[in-house]
Amino acid sequence: MSMRDDSRSSAAALETGRSLQMEPAAMLALARQAAGIAVDRWSRLPEEDAWDGEFSRDLSERLAEDAPEDGRPAAEVLERAARDILPIGLRLDHPRCFAFIPTAPTWPSIVADFMASAYSVNACTWLVASGASQTELVVVDWFRRWIGYPEGAGGLITSGGSAASLNALVVAREAAGYPENATVYMSDQSHGAIIRAAATIGIRRERIRIIPSDDLFRIDMDALARSVAEDRAAGANPIAVVATAGTSSSGAIDPLEAMADFCGAQGIWLHVDAAYGGFALLAEKGKQALRGVEKADSIGLDAHKWFFQPYEAGGLLVKDERKLVQAFGVRADVLQDTIWGKNHPNFSDRSFEVSRSFRAFKIWMSVQTFGLRAFRGAVSRAMELAERAEGFVQASPVLEMSTPLSLSIACFRVNPVDANLDEATIEDANRTVLARVFWEDRAFISSTILHGTFCLRLCILNDRTSWEDVRKTLEVIERFGREYLDRVSQQ
């Protein structure tokens, strides 16, 4: 196109204002095509591999290019994405994906994300997004009740657990009055996101205290108390302790009641990172396991993990909502029209984000569609499957649990009874098994290190996962373990 053509077409666009628009029929066709691809993928997923990543060399050959000056038919662009981009990597919603913390969003919540975009909702202020803000209040209040927090607690839907913890530490620091030498405490099993959150609010690395964990991977309370006392004696100011309710390694739950009592007595903010384990509260067993969580000053929990939502959907609840607003509320002249008073909160006053997608909508839409009972059932089933996995491992002559099951994460390893293998051989066996599952099996699992010991790990969360999916995966691990041992014994 010449420069003259360019200026003619922009003049035409000024008349019609349509350079980025589609006709309604084309809009519908594209949306139908997208829905068709997504549903077809969902139907075929169990027959596909849980992982299909590629190296950058191959992907860049397919994808590296200058932004095209002229467009192409949307149907072609979408087909290319569905072939070359979207399926490449880990299928976190595959029924046999047990790695890291998988997830499996419900269809209504996926559609809700689409609709929130279609309505161009910016969940920043009441004026801009009244319906969305009221809905977020409703969803946050559901979370409040599930946790057992009192009225007066409140929060917001965040992008995830990292953002929830970051926001929580900002509130903790504000509540502590921005002291010098602020110090934050967490266990050696805490998620890296907590260290990052502390660093982001300006806690110096040497003031981030990593407290050792006990045999069950829960924070050592004596060590915590000692560390706080020593820091105070040296003139430091403890501003927050972060507990984990469901560590990502082994599902371990810190002693929440003891930590709350300790922090209460010491006047230190207690934040609970329940990004993985928080929604276990919906099941009776999980509720027992998380006893005392309601005593914390703030809690983060990820709906994009065990509450079956698409990324991004986390939540932060603060026991005294006013502290959240004190920490983040900022008056801006340009937004003065949005101040509508107490009953009309502006969610942009509750975190570091102004423009925000309407994340509460997907949670609302999927709970309205299926009902809470269905969610409770899905959460409970994941724990039951994990218990059966533990039973399988305990009964296996080849496998052993590395630590008792907690929530829905089973950590175990190949270590046959009576084989008397040394630690180096056991680790090599397990690394070999992991690599073989990766390259040879449909399932995908990951590993962790528990107090220096390499283990395999299954995290079961997906509502589509059946016992057969879990059993087949454990049988494959058992077989690869046996084959390794046969090889070693013949050498």
| Cis ω for the linkage preceding 174 (within 30 of 0) | no
Contacts 24+ apart (CB under 8 A), 8-16: none
Q: Binding to ligand PLP by residue 238, rule CB under 6 A?
A: no
Nearer to ligand PLP, 186 or 365 (CB): 186
Q: Binding to ligand PLP by residue 286, rule CB under 6 A?
A: no
Strand ranges for 374-474 from DSSP E? 399-401, 409-414, 446-450, 453-459
Q: Binding to ligand PLP by residue 162, rule CB under 6 A?
A: yes
> How many angstroms separate the CA atoms of 53 and 59, rounded?
10
> How many angstroms separate the CA atoms of 386 and 7, rounded?
64
Contacting range for ligand PLP; rule: CB under 6 A; set: 35-43, 78-86, 138-146, 270-278: 270-278
Shortest Cβ 308–ligand PLP spacing (Å): 14
Q: Binding to ligand PLP by residue 193, rule CB under 6 A?
A: yes
Residue 114 belongs to what H/E stretch? helix 107-118
Contacting range for ligand PLP; rule: CB under 6 A; set: 45-53, 198-206, 271-279, 445-453: 271-279
Among 161, 238, 315, 345, binds ligand PLP (CB under 6 A): 161
Q: Judged by CB under 6 A, how many residues of this single chain contact ligand PLP? A: 14
Q: Which residues between 305 and 324 bind ligand PLP (CB under 6 A)?
A: 314
Nearer to ligand PLP, 359 or 442 (CB): 359
Among 93, 136, 273, 478, binds ligand PLP (CB under 6 A): 273
Strands, sheet with 399-401, edge to edge from the N-terminal-most edge strand: 399-401, 409-414, 453-459, 446-450
Q: Binding to ligand PLP by residue 302, rule CB under 6 A?
A: yes
Nearer to ligand PLP, 244 or 346 (CB): 244
> How many angstroms separate the CA atoms of 478 and 393, rounded?
9
Q: Binding to ligand PLP by residue 411, rule CB under 6 A?
A: no
Q: Binding to ligand PLP by residue 276, rule CB under 6 A?
A: yes
Residues paired with residue 240 on neighbouring β-strands, in sequence order: 184, 269
Closest CA to 169 of 219, 210, 203: 203
Under 8 Å between Cβ of 456 and 377: no
Q: Binding to ligand PLP by residue 251, rule CB under 6 A?
A: no
Q: Binding to ligand PLP by residue 357, rule CB under 6 A?
A: no
Shortest Cβ 457–ligand PLP spacing (Å): 12
Under 8 Å between Cβ of 230 and 181: no
Residues engaged in binding ligand PLP (CB under 6 A): 101, 160-162, 191, 193, 244, 247-248, 273, 275-276, 302, 314
